[in-house]
Amino acid sequence: AVRDIKTDVFDAMSRLSLSFYTNKQTGGLMTRVLSDSERVRDFFIDGLPMIFVHGITIIVTFVVMYRLNWQMALIACILLPLLVFMTVKLRPGLWTLSGKRHRAEKAVTGKANDNLTGARVVKAFGQEESEIERFMHPNQKLREAEINIVKLRNRFAILYNLVMEISSIWIWIVGVFFVLKTDKIELGVLITFVGYVMQLNGPMNFFAWVFRMWSDSINSAERLFEIIDAIPEIREKDNPVKLDKPRGEIELDGVTFGYQIGRPVLKNINLKVREGELLGIVGRSGAGKSTLVNLISRLYDVNEGSIKIDGTDVKDLALQDLRKNVAMVSQDTYIFMGSVAKNIAYGNENASRADIIRAAKLASAHDFISKLPDGYDTIIGASGKDLSGGEKQRISIARAILANPKILILDEATASVDTETEKAIQNSLKLLVKGRTTLSIAHRLSTLRDADRLIVIDGGRIVEEGTEEELSKLENGIFRNLSELQNKSLALNAF
């Protein structure tokens, strides 16, 4: 239904793959959900029903005019083709200007979103005035686009009304001629006839207005259907395999993947993770560690090779089962607007308060949550602006614990916490990883001491694999070099 168009667009966006969002600006998507959907809704709710009302009014009026005097009725219609011609000529210009306005709206919304999201950075660097100046440029573009649309509409309205006035004057001239020179029409009939002609002004002006609304609506609908008709890259098969009793065994066979064609991030990765194993993943920044775990979660599909969980290709698994059994704690923690309890229960909304508290305790989050004004019912802002980086990270860990996955992915899970908190979380994770397959990415190698096995990724390939002790003995090994550098850094900090 038209009234649900925003919901339909939002639903379509939620089903699209992660790559769709990485290639789109937030402002552009917000413009489509809000402005474009509103224009389509306005046309179908305010414009379309009245088309039938005014259309019937025009038809009935012309029938009555024809019955009064068919010659005068034909004369009244003689300028209608000109109105149609003007309408057709208006459409391309209005279409082009509507597109420019959309791009300008997108730029303004995107700039405002960036500024509000990064308000802390803006203020920290004292860039308020600079941001205002940067905002003025896209806002000026939007202003110019709106003015150009109004100019075109006014130009059309003037011509349209001029034609209507000429038509009325023409009817009077011809009508008076018929009254004085012929006996084809009487004065009373002429006055009645002119009254009907004037009655057409309202419906004709409406059609001039509704055409402009229709043009805006179609332009907006085209962009909306780009989203609604978009085919997600990550699609579930018709008869997917269910993960009823997952074991947590992972196997990567010849996996190659790149975000752009011809630029692979991972190259021919072969890896097998045993059930219940804690695998540590080490490597320099940009080596492909996060990409690897994103593929296991099937946020992206591999270009070559296959990824299997419990012997079944992830492409054959039901997405709901896969996501339910693979939980991720990312370095990019996001906290939703709402209570602390709802944020922790995000992956398991049916969880009881006791389950939520238990998960928070395991994540070493219970103490600071208890000190909040309303405890677990405290409302925290979007992105967790009321919390420190470490507190947000611990809520994210509690969220993953409560989801109770068979496979747990920790992508720099302790990156934003201090040493004391890190130790507390590590103690909690020791309990958490029991009976679960865990993949832990960390730059801080001390967090991987309990790992059963380590792999080192460099240049998109697994270049080292073994226990911490084995990798530490490799001459000129990457793990050994990283470990020595961190030990030297810790020694310097001790002074």
What is the CATH classification number for the domain harbouring 308? 3.40.50.300
pLDDT at residue number 421 = 67
Number of structural domains (the chain) is 2
Mean pLDDT, residues 252-258? 92
Whether the per-residue pLDDT at 493 is higher than 60: the answer is no
Same domain assignment for residues 329 and 446: yes
Is 284 found in the same domain as 201?
no
Residues pairing with 307 in the sheet:
252
Within a domain: 187: yes
Q: Has residue 245 been placed in a domain?
A: no
Q: Which residue range is the domain that position 349 belongs to? A: 250-493
Query: What does the pLDDT look like over 75-103, one tens digit per residue?
Result: 777 777 777 777 777 777 887 888 888 88
State the Cα angle at 476 between 471 and 481, rounded to 5°: 70
Do residues 255 and 388 both lie within one domain? yes
Rounded CA gap, 127 and 129, in Å? 6
CA distances to 61, 164, 176, 191 from 68, in Å: 11, 21, 15, 11
Q: How far apart are CA 205 and CA 210, in angstroms?
A: 9
- Answer yes or no: is 440 within a domain: yes
Q: Are residues 117 and 216 in the same domain?
A: yes
Q: Which residue has the higher pLDDT, 422 or 252?
A: 252
**pLDDT (mean) for 377-389:** 74
Which residues are 227's β-sheet partners? none
Q: Which residues of 195-221 are buried (b: 16+ CB within 10 A; e: fewer)?
A: ebbebbeebbebbbebbbebbbbebbb
In a domain, 241, yes or no: no
pLDDT in tens, 99-127: 888 888 888 888 887 887 778 788 888 88
CB-CB contact of 307 with 251 (8 Å):
yes
The reply to whether 401 and 271 lie within a common domain is yes
User: Does 180 fall in a domain?
Assistant: yes
Q: What value does the mean pLDDT of the chain take? A: 83
Residue 236 lies in a domain: no
Amino acid in the structure at residue 101:
R
Cβ atoms of 62 and 182 within 8 Å: the answer is no
Is there a single domain that holds both residue 8 and residue 90?
yes
To 10 degrees, the CA torsion angle through 312, 315, 317, 322? Answer: 100
Residues 354 and 289 in one domain: yes
Q: pLDDT, tens digit, for every residue of 295-311? A: 998 888 999 999 999 99
Question: pLDDT tens digits for 387-415?
Answer: 877 788 888 888 888 888 889 888 877 66
The domain boundary, picked from 229, 260, 278, lies at 229
Structure tokens at 43: 């046309």
Looking at the fold, whether 340 and 458 belong to one and the same domain comes out as: yes
- Do 223 and 275 belong to one domain? no
Q: What is the mean pLDDT of residues 443-455?
A: 82
Are 371 and 473 contained in the same domain? yes
Residues 205 and 261 in one domain: no
